[in-house]
Amino acid sequence: MMSDLQNSPAVFAEECHAIILAGGSGTRLWPLSRNLLPKQLLVLGGDRTLLQQTVARVLEAFTSDKIWIVTNEEHAFEVRKQVSQIDHELESRVVAEPVSRNTLPAIMLGLDKVVGPNTQALAAVFPSDHLISNSLEWKQALEEASALAAKRRFVTFGVEPDHPETGYGYIALGESLGDNAFAVDGFVEKPDLNTAKSFVRDGNHLWNSGMFLFRVKDFLKQVARCQPRLWDWWLARERKPLIESYGQLSDISVDYGVVEKIDNIVAVKAGFQWDDLGSWEAMYRLGEKDEDGNVIQGDVLAMDCKNSLLISEGGKLAAVGVEDMIMVQTRDATLSCPMPHVQRVRDVVQALKSQGSQLVESHPTVVRPWGSYSVLEEGPHYKIKRIQVNSGARLSSQMHHHRSEHWVVVDGTAEVEVNNEPRILVENQSIDIPKAAQHRLANPGKVPLNIIEIQSGPYLEEDDIVRFEDVYGRVKK
Whether residues 248 and 154 share a domain: the answer is: yes
Whether residues 263 and 296 share a domain: the answer is: no
Please say which residue of 324, 354, 384 terminates a domain: 354
| φ, ψ at 377 (rounded to 5°) | -165, 150
Give a yes or no: residue 425 inside a domain.
yes
What is the C-alpha end-to-end distance of the chain, expressed in Å? Answer: 52
Give a yes or no: residue 446 inside a domain.
yes
243-277 in b/e form (b: 16+ CB < 10 A) is eeebeebeebbbbebbbeebeebbbbbbebebbbb
Tell me the CATH number at 79. Answer: 3.90.550.10
Locate all alpha helices (DSSP H) within 270-401, ordered by sequence. Answer: 280-286, 345-354
Please say which residue of 327, 354, 381 terminates a domain: 354
367-382 in b/e form (b: 16+ CB < 10 A) is bbbbbbbebeeeeeee
Whether residues 36 and 80 share a domain: the answer is: yes
Locate all alpha helices (DSSP H) within 162-260, ordered by sequence. Answer: 193-202, 216-226, 228-235, 254-257
CB 407 within 8 A of CB 414: yes
What pLDDT is attached to residue 2? 39
Give a yes or no: residue 11 inside a domain.
yes
What pLDDT is attached to residue 14? 55
Whether residues 437 and 331 share a domain: the answer is: no
Whether residues 164 and 227 share a domain: the answer is: yes
Give the helix/strand (H/E) hosting 6: helix 2-7
Locate all alpha helices (DSSP H) within 62-215, ordered by sequence. Answer: 76-84, 103-114, 135-150, 193-202
Strand segments (E) across 390-434: 397-399, 404-411, 414-418, 421-425, 430-433
Whether residues 298 and 397 share a domain: the answer is: no
CB 20 within 8 A of CB 61: no
| Rounded alpha-carbon distances, angstroms, from residue 77 to 5, 30, 66, 82, 356 | 33, 22, 21, 9, 26
CB 66 within 8 A of CB 59: no
pLDDT in tens, the chain (477 residues): 333 434 444 445 458 999 999 987 778 899 999 888 889 998 887 789 999 999 999 999 999 999 999 999 889 999 999 999 999 999 999 999 998 889 999 999 999 998 865 667 899 999 999 989 888 899 999 999 999 998 889 999 999 998 898 888 999 999 999 888 999 999 998 899 999 999 999 989 999 999 999 999 999 999 999 999 999 999 998 888 898 899 889 899 999 999 999 988 999 998 888 988 888 998 999 899 999 999 999 999 999 999 999 999 988 999 999 999 999 999 999 999 999 999 899 999 999 999 989 899 888 888 899 999 999 999 999 999 999 999 999 999 999 999 999 999 999 999 999 999 999 999 999 999 999 999 999 999 999 999 999 999 999 998 999 999 999 888 876
Q: 31: cis peptide before it, omega within 30°?
A: yes
Give the helix/strand (H/E) hosting 2: helix 2-7
Whether residues 349 and 453 share a domain: the answer is: no
CB 407 within 8 A of CB 452: yes
In the 3-class helix/strand/coil scheme, how is 296-333 assigned residue by residue?
A: EEEEEEEECCECCEEEEEEEEEEEECCECEEEEECCCC
Whole-angstrom Cα distance, residue 455 to residue 291? 49
Give the helix/strand (H/E) hosting 188: strand 181-188
What pLDDT is attached to residue 117? 59
Phi-psi sector, 190: left (phi>0), alpha (psi -120 to 50), beta: left
Whether residues 343 and 375 share a domain: the answer is: no
Whole-angstrom Cα distance, residue 404 to residue 395? 17
| Tally of domains within the chain | 3
Give the helix/strand (H/E) hosting 53: helix 50-58
Whole-angstrom Cα distance, residue 81 to residue 451? 23
Whether residues 315 and 460 share a domain: the answer is: no
- Angle, helices 103-114 vs 228-235, to 10°: value is 30
Give a yes or no: residue 477 inside a domain.
no
Whole-angstrom Cα distance, residue 210 to residue 107? 12
> Strand pairing of 265-270 and 154-159?
parallel
Give a yes or no: residue 252 inside a domain.
yes
Please say which residue of 312, 335, 354 terminates a domain: 354
**Structural domain range at position 289:** 280-354
Whole-angstrom Cα distance, residue 143 to residue 181? 12
> Strand pairing of 325-329 and 309-320?
parallel
Burial class, 316, CB count within 10 angstroms (exposed 0-12 / middle 13-18 / buried 19+): exposed
Give a yes or no: residue 302 inside a domain.
yes
Give a yes or no: residue 245 inside a domain.
yes
Tell me the CATH number at 433. Answer: 2.60.120.10
Question: pTM of the predicted model, to two decimals?
Answer: 0.88
Whether residues 241 and 331 share a domain: the answer is: no
Whole-angstrom Cα distance, residue 136 to residue 61? 10
Largest CA distance in the chain: 74
Whether residues 327 and 425 share a domain: the answer is: no
Give a yes or no: residue 476 inside a domain.
no
Query: 463 CB contacts (<8 Å, ≥6 apart)?
Result: none
CB 364 within 8 A of CB 374: yes
How many helices (H) does the chain have, and how many strands (E)? 11, 26
Whether residues 134 and 212 share a domain: the answer is: yes
